[in-house]
Structure 1
Amino acid sequence: MTDQHNDIAAAIHDAPIGSFVGRRGAEVLAAFAGEQTAMRAGEFLFHEGDYASTFYIVISGQLAFVKKATAKRPQLVLHVLEKGDLVGELSFIDGHQYTLSCAALGDAVVLSFKVGDLSQLVEEHPRVIYDFMRAIIARVHQTRASISRQHLELADYIATGGKRQ
């Protein structure tokens, strides 16, 4: 294995997905990884409405899911992504368009995984794919729990007229 392969495997293993796929799974995924892409502040990784054929892992820096500016409001940052976070994996899996745009908040590097590159992985390493799916489901559960907490906080705020209890 090359130093680059080892570095990619370490980045995958150190990311939250690594706790699901383990060291061996990270090594397998590294073999199917695409290119690392350097991004500058404000550069878009993808735009709302683009079709997904790639998902990414943030290797360094920060990206954000954003809603583009309109004539009535500035661009909105909806969620910040940090080192190790997966980006675009749900649209990658279900083949739907991205529902938000994703832009770099500063200098950042992402590692890409393309649909065509992973087809062989499904056939040869089904356990790695299973563990990858478990990681994605865990993230969906965390997101849902966070939205529920925020919903309750907003409901409490409205019910009390904005008074803290």
Structure 2
Amino acid sequence: MMTEDLILETLRNSTLTEELRDAEIELLAGVVKVQEYKAGEFLLQPGNSSLRNTLMILAAGKVEATASLEGEKATLHLLQPGDLAGIITFVGGTAAQISATVVAKSDSKMLLLERSSLESFLSTNPAIVYYVMRGIVRHVHGIVRRMNMQSLEMSNYIHQQGGRY
């Protein structure tokens, strides 16, 4: 698939652009870059600010988000095409606030959107910025809902086991 087609298809299938019209998606596609990652390559790590201010959108491949809890690695999420990573620093957080490790499980392609590129639309197409930020909030809300459900399921399981686990 050609790079331009990959960008457009990925953006059209992402919560990020749900409220954008085709012409707005095409404008946004013009400021997005494609980055390839090899299997085993780290995309994000706690404390690493190499992709600061950059939102990542999975275009192709398998990417996993994990966290370390008491020295044990736990899978938080297997990203699906259109899913986002790097949200914290993109919206103004610091690298110190990154708690997940994101790694390519297979050769993968990510779309990279730099915050400054999105902000360049503020004077000419502010609706694009507004709707993209709404898309980010919806995506984060989905993550929180999923994690709350998993926490509730785990709590119910522990309760059913009489506190034994």
Q: TM-score category by the smaller chain?
A: 0.7 to 0.9
**CA displacement at 1:151 relative to structure 2:** 2.3
Aligned twin of 2:87: 89
SS of residue paired to 1:55: strand
SS of residue paired to 1:84: coil
Deviations 1:116-159 (A, max 9, x none): 32331222221011111111111222222222222222222222
Aligned twin of 1:112: 112
For structure 1, the residue ranges without an aligned partner over 5 or more in a row are none
**CA displacement at 1:64 relative to structure 2:** 1.1
Moved over 6 A (4+): none
Aligned twin of 1:40: 38
Query: Following the alignment from structure 1 to structure 2, what is the Cα–Cα distance between the partners of residues 8 and 66?
Result: 26
1:57-96 matches, within 5 Å, as 57-67=57-67, 73=72, 75-96=73-94
Contact 1:9 1:26 in 2 (8 A): yes
Query: Following the alignment from structure 1 to structure 2, what is the Cα–Cα distance between the partners of residues 109 and 4?
Result: 10
SS of residue paired to 2:138: helix
Contact 1:6 1:27 in 2 (8 A): no
Distance 1:156 1:7, change over 3 A: closer
Query: Following the alignment from structure 2 to structure 1, what is the Cα–Cα distance between the partners of residues 90 and 74?
Result: 23
Query: Following the alignment from structure 1 to structure 2, what is the Cα–Cα distance between the partners of residues 135 and 117?
Result: 17
CA RMSD of superposed structures (Å): 2.4
Distance 1:7 1:78, change over 3 A: closer
Distance 1:133 1:118, change over 3 A: closer
Which protein has the bigger helix share? 1
Percent identity, please: 25
Contact 1:8 1:30 in 2 (8 A): yes
Query: Following the alignment from structure 1 to structure 2, what is the Cα–Cα distance between the partners of residues 131 and 19?
Result: 8
**CA displacement at 1:162 relative to structure 2:** 5.9
Contact 2:119 2:129 in 1 (8 A): no
Query: Following the alignment from structure 2 to structure 1, what is the Cα–Cα distance between the partners of residues 137 and 99?
Result: 18
1:1-165 matches, within 5 Å, as 4-5=3-4, 7-33=6-32, 35-51=33-49, 52-67=52-67, 73=72, 75-97=73-95, 98-161=98-161
SS of residue paired to 2:132: helix
Query: Following the alignment from structure 2 to structure 1, what is the Cα–Cα distance between the partners of residues 109 and 162?
Result: 41
For structure 2, the residue ranges without an aligned partner over 5 or more in a row are none
Contact 2:53 2:92 in 1 (8 A): no
Contact 2:67 2:101 in 1 (8 A): yes
Query: Following the alignment from structure 1 to structure 2, what is the Cα–Cα distance between the partners of residues 151 and 68?
Result: 16
If the length of structure 1 is used for normalisation, what is the TM-score?
Answer: 0.82
The letter for the 2-side match of 1:93 is: V
Instruction: Tell me how many residue pairs correspond in the alignment.
Output: 158
Query: Following the alignment from structure 1 to structure 2, what is the Cα–Cα distance between the partners of residues 4 and 108?
Result: 13
